[in-house]
Amino acid sequence: MARGNRRKYTAQTKEEAVGQVIKAGLPLAQVARSYDMPMQTLENWVSKARRGDTPKFVAVVSDQDEEISRLRALCAKLTMERDILKKATAYFAREVL
């Protein structure tokens, strides 16, 4: 993207994405894809959060918000696994015919 066309992310989006990487342990690439953002952007946010250089957007998260974030990460993981299984099924079905 050109410098003048930078995307703006809400504080909630930043917090959820960082939480999925740090707390849920999901890979950076997967979380960046699910939020349709550059991986480098997410990597910068995560490294700042891990250094303790807590950005303004990282706030204390309630238990309910944490559970929602965890469930979203789980949903993304299960969706990815389902898609892989669909592709494998289609591949092996072609082999039989």
pLDDT tens, 76-95? 999 999 999 999 999 998 87
Neighbours of 74 (CB within 10 A): 13
What tokens does 58 get? 């990282």
Report the alpha-carbon distance of residue 58 to residue 49 in Å, rounded.
Answer: 8
pLDDT tens, 37-71? 999 999 999 988 888 775 555 555 678 877 888 89
Reported confidence tier of residue 15, pLDDT bands at 50, 70, 90? confident
